[in-house]
Amino acid sequence: MLPKTGRKFPLWTGVLGGRDTYAQTIAELLRKEHGDSRRAIKQLMRQTDASERTVKHWLSAQHGPDTVYFLRLVVSSPVIRAFVLGLLEGPAAITLTGPVDRISLARAREAYAAGEAAGGHSATGAREYDPERVPERDPINVPDRAEINERQRWFLGRVVEGRCDAREIAAVWDVSLKTARRDIAALKAADLICYVGSPRKGRYRKTTG
């Protein structure tokens, strides 16, 4: 509730208590995931398209990532994503009292489509049959060619050599089948691969673009 005097809302506590605390928390999380080496800086630059100076500021807790950079980290960093999920489940989060209604979902889809259109990307369109597609796991943000992970690079190499699918990614890299499918879905959405042939005997191949 609002204080009886003054013009400010009650202060947040914990990690959201202020910019300094936020910056320190993000720095610790990023160092935990990547370390603080030169390689870590380059990796974060690839993930977020931020400058070297900006990334160094994050790692040293001079300031935390703002807006678009933070959202890019949520998409590309498992540690930051887990951090956000923890905030959503924390005591400060407003608990939903019921399911999201259809109107709200429709408005959300419209807003997303408008954002994609403004960014020069198509948010809709028919998709050819893909046996690895998991509709409920379709990526909202598609990485560009510089942001693909090691599993995806390996998969691109395997596609050139012969037939390969999500089960091979899961087996070789010891990840879940859902994770492997998301890797492939992101490569397809980035137009790095396409699926050709019949559903049962078709295969992935690299695009020529």
Specify the CATH number for the domain of residue 81.
1.10.260
DSSP codes joined into one string, 107-121: HHHHHHHHHHHHTT-
Domain end point (choices 47, 67, 88): 88
Residue 209 in domain = yes
Q: Is 205 helix (H, G, I), strand (E, B) or coil?
A: strand
Indicate the average pLDDT of the chain: 76
pLDDT for 120: 56
Q: Show the domain range for 83.
A: 14-88
Domain end point (choices 53, 88, 123): 88
Q: In this structure, what CATH number is given to the domain that contains residue 198?
A: 1.10.10.10
Tokens of 200: 């049962």
Residue 127 in domain = no
Question: Does residue 199 register a pLDDT over 60?
Answer: yes
Question: Does residue 52 register a pLDDT over 80?
Answer: yes
- Residue 203, strand partner residues: 196
- Range in 103-112, 115-124, 147-156 the model is least confident about: 115-124
Question: Does residue 179 register a pLDDT over 60?
Answer: yes
Taking each helix axis from N to C end, the angle separating 150-161 and 166-173, rounded to the nearest 10 degrees, works out to 130
Residues 147, 83 within the same domain: no
Given pLDDT bands bounded at 50, 70 and 90, which one contains residue 126? very low
Within 13 A of 138's CA, how many CA atoms are on the CB side? 10
For the chain, the domain total comes to 2
Cα separation of 32 and 56, whole Å? Answer: 15
* Contact of 191 with 205, CB cutoff 8 Å: no
Residue 48 in domain = yes
Residue 169 in domain = yes
pLDDT for 56: 92
Question: Does residue 107 register a pLDDT over 80?
Answer: no
* Contact of 155 with 182, CB cutoff 8 Å: no
Residues 150, 84 within the same domain: no
Q: CB under 8 Å to 13, separation ≥6 — which residues?
A: 92
Residue 158 in domain = yes
Residue 134 in domain = no
Domain end point (choices 65, 88, 111): 88
Q: pLDDT for 79-93, tens place per residue?
A: 888 888 887 776 666
Q: Is 8 helix (H, G, I), strand (E, B) or coil?
A: coil
Residue 8 in domain = no
Residue 133 in domain = no
List of long-range contacts for 63-68, beta carbons under 8 Å, 24+ apart: 63/19, 63/23, 64/19, 64/22, 64/23, 64/25, 64/26, 64/27, 65/26
Stronger pLDDT, 71 or 1, i.e. the higher one: 71
